């Protein structure tokens, strides 16, 4: 190896011996909280019913897209009873832009009917009850319980949370339920709700899937992902 080659070679990263150590996890919390001190759910809603419906609609699309259709939807059908009685073709028209609109229209109307018939028109406050609604799986239930009721029943695992949790070495799983179980082992319960919000914001704004903006990332020094686009190692040396 020539002297020039040696000079050009970056110092090898000294990876964290235990990526799940309490100290490292706490450092991740601290960095996220400083970067996103006011992170909240990006779906516009005024009550638990609207959040439930909006979260069902958010499957396979963006929150921005959902926020474009829900004003008309909730103006015309502001309660579970009214939504349950709505003409299905009209629901399909309103939510068409969210994709998979026929299935979603059936789900939101079915969820409204269950709310009316089984829960007196009120959104329940347990995972087991919420997942009885059509279109509501564990992720949606966790969104409603955490963002509206402030109940930390679990950790919301969407595509951003799953992807970033793997990049940060907090899990090796790809199944959302298994990812949630892994995260619950290392994240204190009083951080569950905010951790999801912060990681989702970070995934949208900085750690972008196609080309993560590592040079702007507040977690860069804590991250050992193999596909990083920039590293501070050449400035700070091995850690």
* Alpha carbon distance 143, 56 (integer Å): 10
pLDDT digits (tens, 9 = 90+) for 19-58: 899 999 999 999 999 999 999 999 999 999 999 999 999 9
Residue that has been written with the tokens 């992720």 in this structure: 139
In a structure prediction context, what are the per-residue pLDDT tens digits for the chain, which is 239 residues long?
554 444 444 444 455 568 899 999 999 999 999 999 999 999 999 999 999 999 999 999 999 999 999 999 999 999 999 999 999 999 999 999 999 999 999 999 999 999 999 999 999 999 999 999 999 999 999 999 999 999 999 999 999 999 999 999 999 999 999 999 999 999 999 999 999 999 999 999 999 998 999 999 999 999 988 888 887 655 554 44
Is residue 162 domain-shared with residue 76, that is, in the same domain? no
CATH of the domain at 225: 1.10.1670.10
Is residue 119 domain-shared with residue 58, that is, in the same domain? yes
Is residue 115 domain-shared with residue 81, that is, in the same domain? yes
Is residue 56 domain-shared with residue 143, that is, in the same domain? yes
CATH of the domain at 115: 1.10.340.30
* Residue 7, in any domain of the structure: no
* Residue 237, in any domain of the structure: no
Radius of gyration of the chain (CA): 21
Is residue 54 domain-shared with residue 142, that is, in the same domain? yes
Domain that holds residue 81: 48-147
Catalytic, 139? Answer yes
Q: How many domains does the chain fold into?
A: 2
Is residue 95 domain-shared with residue 131, that is, in the same domain? yes
Is residue 52 domain-shared with residue 143, that is, in the same domain? yes
**Which is nearest to 55 in space by CA: 132, 141, 130?**
141
Q: Domain boundary residue among 147, 170, 190? A: 147
Catalytic, 158? Answer yes
Residue 18's pLDDT is 87
Is residue 112 domain-shared with residue 162, that is, in the same domain? no
Catalytic, out of 30, 139, 216, 221: 139
Residue 227's pLDDT is 86
Q: Domain boundary residue among 147, 169, 197? A: 147
Cα distances from 237 to residues 3, 11, 13, 44, 216, in angstroms, run: 18, 6, 8, 45, 19
Is residue 77 domain-shared with residue 124, that is, in the same domain? yes
Residue 235's pLDDT is 52
pLDDT digits (tens, 9 = 90+) for 138-163: 999 999 999 999 999 999 999 999 99
Catalytic, out of 63, 104, 158, 182: 158
**Which is nearest to 57 in space by CA: 85, 26, 83?**
83
């Amino acid at each position: 190896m020539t002297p020039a080659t040696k000079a050009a070679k970056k110092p090898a990263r000294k990876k964290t011996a235990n990526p799940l150590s309490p100290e490292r996890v706490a450092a991740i919390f601290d960095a996220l909280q400083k970067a996103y001190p006011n992170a909240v759910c990006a779906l516009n809603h005024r009550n638990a019913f609207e959040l439930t419906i909006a979260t069902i609609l958010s499957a396979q699309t963006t929150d921005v897209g959902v926020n474009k259709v829900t004003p008309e939807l909730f103006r015309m059908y502001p309660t579970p009873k009214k939504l349950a009685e709505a003409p299905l073709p009209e629901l399909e028209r309103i939510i068409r832009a969210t994709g998979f609109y026929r299935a979603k229209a059936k789900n939101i109307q079915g969820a409204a009917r269950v709310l009316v018939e089984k829960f007196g028109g009120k959104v329940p406050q347990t995972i087991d009850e919420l997942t009885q609604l059509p279109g509501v799986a564990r992720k949606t239930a966790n969104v409603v319980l955490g963002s509206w009721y402030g109940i930390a029943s679990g950790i919301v695992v969407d595509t951003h949370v799953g992807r970033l949790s793997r990049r940060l070495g907090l899990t090796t799983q790809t199944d959302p339920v298994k990812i949630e179980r892994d995260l619950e082992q290392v994240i204190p319960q009083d951080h569950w709700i905010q951790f999801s919000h912060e990681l989702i914001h970070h995934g949208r704004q900085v750690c972008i899937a196609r080309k993560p903006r590592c040079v702007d990332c507040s977690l860069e020094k804590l991250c050992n992902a193999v596909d990083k686009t920039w590293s501070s190692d050449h400035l700070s040396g091995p850690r």
